[in-house]
Homo-oligomer: A and B are copies of this chain.
């Protein structure tokens, strides 16, 4: 079924049918209703390829995920990101393609090259080194937005959270509780977020007049196994607290701590990063940094669509705030939390009935009527 065939049935021309479909006002009401009726009767669907070919835009964007270790997928990060992306795409009538590429895939180039029907890309992970995608897309003038800034390519479009600030705040939280020997297990340093969180850790220590101790800085990665191993390397140095730069790794860290016969937070305080579902299931529930991941996706999609339609000349860069979610893993009595004047505190006792998506933080902890407190 084509425009021409619909036109024939409606006793009019291809052009007029096209106008009806595209809501062009210059069609008489009579013809318009006649055409619409035929379209409904025949179940005609415009051919997207033809439209795109003639119209020079595909109305589709792609999320590019450098398919890293399987952990990529155990992480709810991409689920949430997709949620944000797809809601914006739906609103603006764009399609969303998913492109999982291993940067070491020999066909990577080919797949990117032949990626069908894409007006632009969302880069799902900001690889620090050997990021083949940014130069590739830049050279070809293909619009893209990176999830996460990039330390060297500073003139790209990106959305990021304030990793440095949030990490500093997390560490600061431990410092305020009187801890001094604070270690960190870094997130993958392959990724900007990893480097930034370490940076925030260092900044908080320095600001507090504590000299960072290299022994207390261990490189982790994405997986809880890496968190586990890193924690085991750390334990001999007897840290009082650990800033674990992802909740997934924090799970592994807990395990290492328990295996060593130590307790959280009595022997070691732990702060995570992400506010995974896991964070609230851990016992004790994990104090961590909440990132607005779905919003990150939504904003990225909006920026990309704007860039595509407007050809902005200046890079668009946006940084979203995080929030520290205080639970039990640092043993904080809520009343001890001191404010720095910049954040607002929300204190609440989460009761059983309130368990819902946004309050999963209540989870197991709630069964002890734990007080939860969020800086927002």
Contact = CB atoms under 8 A, between A and B. Distances in A.
Interface of chain A: mostly helix, strand, loop or mixed: helix
A93 B70 contact: no
Given A60-B116, A277-B74, A363-B255, A97 B97 contact: yes
Interface stretch (A148-156, A222-230, A314-322): A222-230
A60 B116 CA distance: 8
Nearest to A80: B73
Interface stretch (A193-201, A203-211, A332-340, A352-360): A352-360
Given A49-B49, A73-B80, A283-B283, A60 B117 contact: yes
Contacts of A366: 255
B281 A251 contact: yes
A288 to B, nearest CB: 15
Q: How many copies does the complex hold?
A: 2
Contact of A255 (B45, B87, B355): B355
A83 interface: yes
Contacts of A95: 97, 99, 115-117
A111 interface: yes
B228 A355 contact: yes
B74 A367 contact: no
A196 B120 CA distance: 42
Interface in A18-70: 43, 45-50, 52-53, 58-60, 67, 70
Interface string A248-267: 00011001001100000000
Contacts of A52: 49, 116-117
A80 B70 CA distance: 10
A71 B352 contact: no
Nearest to A223: B357
Interface of A: 43, 45-50, 52-53, 58-60, 67, 70-71, 73-74, 76, 78-80, 82-83, 86-87, 90, 93, 95-101, 111, 113-117, 139-140, 223-225, 228, 251-252, 255, 258-259, 277-278, 281-283, 352, 355-357, 360, 363-364, 366-367
